[in-house]
Structure 1
Amino acid sequence: MKLNGVKVLDLTQFMPGSVLTGMMADHGAEVIKIESPGGDPTRQHEHRDDPDLAAATVGFFARCNRGKYSLSLDLKRFAAKEILYRLVEDADVLVESFRPGVAERLGMDYETLRQRNPRLIYCSLSAFGQTGPLRDTPAHDSVVQAYGGSLPLANDATPVTDCLPTAALAGALNGLVAILMALLSARGNGRGERIDIAMRDCLLPAQPFRSRTDHPEEDQGLAMCSAYRTSDDLWLCLGGRERVFCENLLRPLGRADLIEVATGATSGDQGPVHAFLAEVFSKQSRAYWLPWLETRGISAAPVLDVRDALKHPQTQARQMLLVDSQGREHIGTALKFQEEPGIPNLRVPRLGEDNATILSALGYREQEIAALRRAGVIHSH
């Protein structure tokens, strides 16, 4: 696989870092997840309110951390830091998501670790980065989106918290790109790199040129890129305002007069287009409308929930649903290579499951490992 031989130390919790290093593990990287004695907090969120779902599909922690090795260390202890330092000497990449300043206090910042491995690529993932007035602001995704001007707005301009962790995903993907760039550079110059990824920074380049805060209060957005309820209380979504879509939809429905507004060619309010389409679509079922739209070449889709999306034939065709030895479903890798495809290892490590294996590889004897366990330096469940 593409990342065979790349050794990664994952000192992250929650989503951005786990997603980033999880993608690397799916494509062959050896990823050691270093967890606190209590473990990554997302271990506690594995479908705890839905036993049936837990039996059928894996939860967040498993999706992001499959194929990794788990080493549980109390990094406030000197002996644990010594273990980390020894791991760093042979690592290619380290990813951390501490609050800015914490790594320095723990003695595991870039300047300290590069003394032990000048080739180390050190990536910090945080909400607002290592610099700036927001540096120390505690934040998860919705707060980052709010500060980044990307929190979704309802039709009446009321902010709506988004269930999709846009900032975290953007941070993970930008972090992965930066790490791969640094790995390529290191091949030539033999030097490591310090990478500072702020989730807010990753949102800004994706913003539209026009701020959504200057929309009129009753602006409903683009009529040809909106969702509509059908007569059977299901939803469909239109997905394009190009003239061909507008003409192919509005002419057969007898409202060619709305085409210019629907395309956005005029500055007129799209409310009349919204109102007309909402009324029309409400008169027939979704099963009626989707073939009608398809035969006219109009961009449209049913609005599916996650379970329906996973059952869709496209999911199977793209190998986006994998099944582990316990019969539980995993999401496949979205990176499709022809010559060296990713083959995700679906093993999900228990907390500290690989302590002995990792420490033995570092040269620790069985008695020393037992002593570290008794002293609370390493933990396992």
Structure 2
Amino acid sequence: MPSDPDHRETADPALRRGGPLAGVVVLDVTRVVAGPFCAMILADMGATVIKIENPKDPDYTRTFPPMVDTGENEVSAFYAQYNRNKLGVSLDLRSAEGKDLFRKLVRKADILIENFRPGVLDKLGLGYDDLRLENPRLVYAGISGFGRSGPNSKRPGYDNSGQATGGLWSMNGYPGQPPVRVGTIIGDLSASLYAAIGILAALREAERTGAGQVVDISQQDAVLSLTESAVVRYTVDKEIASPLGNDHPFVRPYGQFPCADGYVFFGGYTDKFWAITCALFGEPGMATDPRIDTMEKRFDPEVSKTIVTPLLERWFSRHTKAELEAMAGDDVPLSAIKSIDEVIADPHIQARGMIVDVPVGGRDVPMLGLPIKLSGAKPAPHAPAPALGEHNVAVLRGLLGLDDTALAALGDKGVI
């Protein structure tokens, strides 16, 4: 149950969204991506997410490109992508009045998400030990570079910190070349995903027992969990994972191959898929060639380099990406390596609802949809990311019952 059994009824109807998490109130005290993305997932699934920003120091991704020109100002589509469907409240948590309002909001909330360095909110008297006195059912999620425990917990961290210290950076790139970071903020994104999972588990526990808890998420931990077999390869065989480019540590053929107009991924390494592929390209006899007639033989690096790869490159070079995908169909794991414009135009991506329209600066901007598909959830239009403090009145009046005089006084003091 929510922390306040009546808060769903007392809240302004405008503050509530439909969906599987309808009625769940989330305080989002995060900025950039590790945190905002987590809260966005919950908002997309129907939670009432209240993004709280310092009125004098708001989330600086509001200035991140690309910018949409409204005619009067510019609005960040980057910010909009990770803060859609949220309500915006500006609140100075360093002021006594701001802290008091925040505690009152905590009493109405089910979940709080923050991504400060561990200890920052404690110094303000707003850490978990303080807030659980206000709301014993509160699920408190903290996302940080290195987590809330351990010798490095107080270190500052960014996505690249997680990639560097979680092992992923050292594994990425090409053999004999310096390591290359993964080409997206995988530390921020994976930490947000794990936080969402942990939050929903803790929320279920709070509903069952009435007791909240801390969900402690480290970017380093999140990245380490993405290193596939690297840990056991070392603990069992003392093999240190190193950059392999587009190759797999032992599975072959399984990687990138050139074709007439670009590159494809081909993963037909099993005997079944190999036989289908050989027949597909008019050389069925290659499936029984004694040099490459078993998966184990094709896994051999030298056999792969001298026989299998040249054969595939000869076959693929005659066709475009689209032709190869059409030939492979549902029979062989072969996929075009697509640029982002090709991905956005992909009919399958469109059919899956992975590109959605979100209002930004007065017009709809296509952006990432939610990968979680629930059969019982009906798609709903997305609300725009809030302007700074846009919903101060709706939230503070609707949830806390403040009148116009109190709201005006808070504004005059710079608290909101």
1:297-336 aligned at under 5 Å gives the runs: 297-324=331-358, 326-336=363-373
| Residues in 1 aligned to 2:121 and 2:388: alpha-carbon distance in whole angstroms | 22
SS of corresponding position for 1:125: strand
Tell me the residue number matched to 2:259.
230
From 373, 376, 393, the equivalent of 1:339 is 376
Tell me the residue number matched to 1:82.
100
Tell me the residue number matched to 1:244.
272
SS of corresponding position for 1:290: helix
Corresponding letter in the other structure for 1:249: T
1:115 aligns with 2:133: yes
1:145-224 aligned at under 5 Å gives the runs: 145-151=163-169, 152-157=171-176, 158-206=178-226, 207-208=228-229, 209-210=232-233, 213-214=240-241, 220-221=247-248, 222-224=251-253
| Residues in 1 aligned to 2:58 and 2:305: alpha-carbon distance in whole angstroms | 51
Corresponding letter in the other structure for 2:174: N
Tell me the TM-score normalized by structure 2. Answer: 0.80
From 273, 281, 289, the equivalent of 2:316 is 281
Corresponding letter in the other structure for 1:11: V
For residues 46 and 346 of structure 1, do their structure 2 counterparts lie closer, same or farther at Cα, with a shift above 3 Å needed? farther
Q: What is the percentage of aligned positions where both structures have the same residue?
A: 30
From 56, 64, 67, the equivalent of 2:85 is 67
| Residues in 1 aligned to 2:266 and 2:217: alpha-carbon distance in whole angstroms | 35
| Residues in 2 aligned to 1:230 and 1:23: alpha-carbon distance in whole angstroms | 38
The CA RMSD measured in Å over matched residues stands at 2.8
**Is the deviation greater in 128-137 or in 201-210?**
201-210
SS of corresponding position for 1:337: coil
For residues 298 and 278 of structure 1, do their structure 2 counterparts lie closer, same or farther at Cα, with a shift above 3 Å needed? same
Residue 114 (structure 1) shift: 0.6
How many pairs were matched up? Answer: 371
CA contact (8 A) 1:16 1:172 kept: yes
**Is the deviation greater in 27-36 or in 242-251?**
242-251
Structure 2 gaps, min length 5: 1-18
Residue 88 (structure 1) shift: 0.5
Residue 261 (structure 1) shift: 6.4
Residue 75 (structure 1) shift: 1.6
| Residues in 1 aligned to 2:109 and 2:365: alpha-carbon distance in whole angstroms | 32
1:294 aligns with 2:313: no
For residues 122 and 4 of structure 1, do their structure 2 counterparts lie closer, same or farther at Cα, with a shift above 3 Å needed? same
Tell me the TM-score normalized by structure 1. Answer: 0.87
Residue 89 (structure 1) shift: 0.9
**Is the deviation greater in 85-94 or in 132-141?**
132-141
| Residues in 2 aligned to 1:218 and 1:25: alpha-carbon distance in whole angstroms | 37
| Residues in 1 aligned to 2:311 and 2:193: alpha-carbon distance in whole angstroms | 40
